């Protein structure tokens, strides 16, 4: 990189902004989008080669569901923990952001599959949480607390507030995941009611996974009071990601307009959705021309709307909008990149973090013009990365280069 000069002459500015038009289609960014479920049963044969055939370069997320029901009444042996590590390592090595759900049941029969006494559930929670500790930054979301049919925290003798509060405390304590600003994983529970039960006990950021989205007016009992709890979910959804899967059920979604569906998903701040289930509903949404729109808006979709010199040329300002349903949740870093006509390149850090900012609020970032190199002519770009691993965050602007948004030219 060429060195920067602190001397600036505004009289030499001739800035032409880019067009700032939106590109077509979904952008494949980390921590957002469609996912597939990859189910495994510990104690049975684990076929990761077969799982690899289902991985898609167009899906940054995977939901890894690990069934430990074969060990319900004994502590997890090292062989079982080793198998779990092998599974997580596989998806980590394939650069997927992992939504992990460990459960006793993948048959809809938790009352039979779960341990016969709560002390063993506690021990398993400790073991799983300790395993997660070594995967900080690679697990995006840990869903549930082991219990319930398919790990969905219902149809279980341990689904009361008393039990789930204890399990959440163990999860946080043993995993060390208690800092919303860290790279540690986010938690997720099944309903707003359960979120209220554990939120004040957790010390970590917790989202909601709703596996009955659009099934009925209250998402098949997900909401006890739709208006109040949807508002609650929207507020809490700025701190941790929400998502799940859609269900057709009795055709409730057929009664809703496109706008009502999009507004509902935006209010829920949906970051991730199952691409396989429920195909009846997904196909209907596709036939309405709505599925692609939903896919584009899952999670965040940032676009630069304006850039230029303001305040008599003393400040360079960038305006960013989020067209998605939700923010990005882990910290980001941005810089102003200048590719000069003489072949030199400049990378100037900006004071900008997109994480956990409401999509409905515009974002502005500025830099003093005297921080730019003197008398340089060339193209200006905005570069944004996820801070923990420098993975690039692609914006929805149609004019870009190597993932960086073209802001304009100085001539």
The reported pLDDT for the residue numbered 183 is 63
Pick the CATH number of 33-297 from 1.20.120, 1.25.40, 2.60.40, 3.20.20: 3.20.20
Q: Does residue 6 carry a pLDDT above 80? A: no
182: pLDDT confidence band, cut at 50, 70 and 90? Answer: low
The reported pLDDT for the residue numbered 13 is 75
The Cα 12–Cα 379 span in angstroms is 15
Q: Write the pLDDT tens digit of every residue in 229-252.
A: 999 999 999 999 999 999 999 899
The reported pLDDT for the residue numbered 70 is 98
Q: Write the pLDDT tens digit of every residue in 97-138.
A: 999 999 999 999 999 999 999 999 999 999 999 999 989 789
Q: Write the pLDDT tens digit of every residue in 342-399.
A: 999 999 999 999 999 999 999 999 999 999 998 899 999 999 999 999 999 999 999 9
Q: Give, as one character, the DSSP assignment of residue 106.
A: S
Average of pLDDT values for 209-237? Answer: 98
User: Where in the chain are the domains?
Assistant: 10-24+301-410, 33-297
Q: Write the pLDDT tens digit of every residue in 28-39.
A: 999 999 999 999
Cβ atoms of 35 and 61 closer than 8 Å: yes
Average of pLDDT values for 191-203? Answer: 90
10-24+301-410 placed in CATH 2.60.40:
yes
**38 beta partners:** 64
Q: Does residue 281 carry a pLDDT above 80? A: yes
The total of other beta-carbon atoms located within 10 Å of residue 212's CB is 21
21 contacts: CB under 8 Å, gap ≥ 6: 397, 398, 399
- The H or E element that residue 62 is part of is strand 61-67
247 contacts: CB under 8 Å, gap ≥ 6: 211, 212, 213, 214, 215, 220, 277, 278, 281
408 contacts: CB under 8 Å, gap ≥ 6: 15, 16, 17, 18, 307, 308, 379, 380
Q: Does residue 180 carry a pLDDT above 60? A: no
Say if 10-24+301-410 and 33-297 have the same CATH topology: no
> What is the pTM for the complete model shown?
0.95
What percentage of the chain reaches a pLDDT higher than 70? Answer: 96
Q: Write the pLDDT tens digit of every residue in 257-266.
A: 999 999 999 9
Q: Which two tokens stand for residue 15?
A: 């800035």
* Burial of 147 per CB tally in 10 Å (0-12, 13-18, 19+): buried
The Cα 96–Cα 85 span in angstroms is 15
Residue with token string 């959705």:
273
Q: Which two tokens stand for residue 378?
A: 């060339």
Q: Please report how many Cα atoms fall inside a 13 Å half-sphere around the Cα of residue 137, on the Cβ side.
A: 12
């Amino acid at each position: 990189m060429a060195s920067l000069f602190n001397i600036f002459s505004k009289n030499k500015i001739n800035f032409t902004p880019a067009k700032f038009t939106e590109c077509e289609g979904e952008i494949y960014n980390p921590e957002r989008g469609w996912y597939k479920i990859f189910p495994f049963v510990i104690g049975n044969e684990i076929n990761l080669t077969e799982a690899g055939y289902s991985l898609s370069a167009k899906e940054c997320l995977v939901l890894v569901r690990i069934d430990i029901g074969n060990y319900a009444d004994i502590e997890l042996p090292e062989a079982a923990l080793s198998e779990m590590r092998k599974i997580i390592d596989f998806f980590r090595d394939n650069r997927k952001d992992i939504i992990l759900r460990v459960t006793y049941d993948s048959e809809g029969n938790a009352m039979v599959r779960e341990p016969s006494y709560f002390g063993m559930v506690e021990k398993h929670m400790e073991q799983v949480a300790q395993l997660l500790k070594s995967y900080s930054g690679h697990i995006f979301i840990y869903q549930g607390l082991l219990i319930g049919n398919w790990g969905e925290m219902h149809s279980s003798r341990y689904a009361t507030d008393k039990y789930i509060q204890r399990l959440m405390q163990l999860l946080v304590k043993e995993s060390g995941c208690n800092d919303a600003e860290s790279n540690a994983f986010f938690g997720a529970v099944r309903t707003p009611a359960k979120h209220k039960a554990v939120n004040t006990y957790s010390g970590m950021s917790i989202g909601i996974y709703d596996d009955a989205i659009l099934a009925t007016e209250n998402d098949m009992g997900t909401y006890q009071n739709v208006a109040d709890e949807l508002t609650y979910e929207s507020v809490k959804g700025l701190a941790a990601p929400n998502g799940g899967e859609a269900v057709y059920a009795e055709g409730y979604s057929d009664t809703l307009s496109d706008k009502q569906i999009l507004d509902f998903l935006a209010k829920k701040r949906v970051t991730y959705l199952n691409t396989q289930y429920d195909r009846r509903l997904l196909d209907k949404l596709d036939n309405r021309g709505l599925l692609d729109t939903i896919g584009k808006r899952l999670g965040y979709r940032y676009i630069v709307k304006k850039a230029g010199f303001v305040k008599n040329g003393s400040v360079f300002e960038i305006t960013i909008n989020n067209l998605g349903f939700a923010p990005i949740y882990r910290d980001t870093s941005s810089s102003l990149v200048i590719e000069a006509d003489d072949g030199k390149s400049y990378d100037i850090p900006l004071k900008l973090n997109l994480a956990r900012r409401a999509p409905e609020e515009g974002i502005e970032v500025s830099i003093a013009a005297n921080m730019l190199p003197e008398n340089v002519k060339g193209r200006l770009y905005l570069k944004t990365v996820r801070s923990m691993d420098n993975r690039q965050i692609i914006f929805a602007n149609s004019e870009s280069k190597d993932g960086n948004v073209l802001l304009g030219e100085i001539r």
